[in-house]
Amino acid sequence: MTTTQPNPDDFGIRNGITEVIATTRSDSGVPNAAPIGIIRDGDRGSLCVRLFPGSHTRENAIASGEIVANITRDPVQYVESTFGDLDASAFDFPDGMRCPVLKNASAWILFEIERLKGNVFELAPVRGVIRGTKPFAINRGFNAVIESLVHATRYQLTRDSKYLDWIGHYGRIVQVCGGVREKEAIARLKELAGFAGLAEARQ
Ligand SMILES: Cc1cc2nc3c(=O)[nH]c(=O)nc-3n(C[C@H](O)[C@H](O)[C@H](O)COP(=O)(O)O)c2cc1C
């Protein structure tokens, strides 16, 4: 289904913070992907993101004025786009779009982005596609991969060892509740994050 004026509700972007993989394009045409949280304040509230300094996503979004939110449940892609680069073959450029999308996203929305203040940017939906209509049932293993990733990014910033304990805690949930792809994601996280201590986060 293609919509010209996408309604965030149809894409599962609800009240609160929705985690997506954002795709952007650099001035020189290089596609980039990284997880971000889309903030929706109230059911009718407008959408915004906080983009912290230092990321390609922020730099590209400011330069191009565009960002795509990809709705995807591939835990390995979350890990690889946080701590590494996705292979060029992961991206697609739909007709007439400068901004890339993820080939395997079950849905995506192109937003125009405008800086409100500081790190806060407003998102205006422009165009969207829903490719898959299969429901996303809850899997604690998938959720635990996302929690581990968030703690790994915090550990990277602060080096506070409490984050290693939490990564260990969520890693145990992945081993019990996750599927093959979630277990692969945790293994990739420890490999890619590549900072001392993370590999020893106790399972
Ligand atoms: C689940 C999750 C949500 C995140 N949300 C945000 C966010 O809302 N804003 C942000 O600036 N960074 C966020 N991050 C951190 C970025 O994804 C991370 O800094 C990434 O390395 C940036 O990559 P890039 O330089 O390719 O853009 C999030 C990370 C994870 C794992």
**How far is 30 from 24, CA to CA, in rounded Å?**
8
CB–CB of 64/112 below 8 Å? Answer: no
Q: Which atom of ligand 1 is least distant from the CA of 24?
A: 27
**What structural domains and CATH numbers belong to the chain?**
2-130 (2.30.110.10), 140-194 (1.20.58.290)
Find where tokens 């994601």 sit: 185
Classified as helix, coil or strand, 162 is helix
Distance separating the N- and C-terminal Cα atoms of the chain: 42
Ligand 1 centroid distance, CA of 35 (Å): 5
Q: What is the pLDDT of residues 78-109, one digit of tens each?
A: 999 999 899 999 999 999 899 999 999 999 99
Q: Which atom of ligand 1 is least distant from the CA of 78?
A: 31
Which portions of the chain are predicted below pLDDT 70? 1-4, 43-44, 195-203
Q: Please compute Rg for the chain using Cα positions.
A: 17
* pTM (predicted TM-score): 0.94
CB–CB of 18/146 below 8 Å? Answer: no
Is 57's C-beta closer than 6 angstroms to any atom of ligand 1?
Answer: yes
Is 35's C-beta closer than 6 angstroms to any atom of ligand 1?
Answer: yes
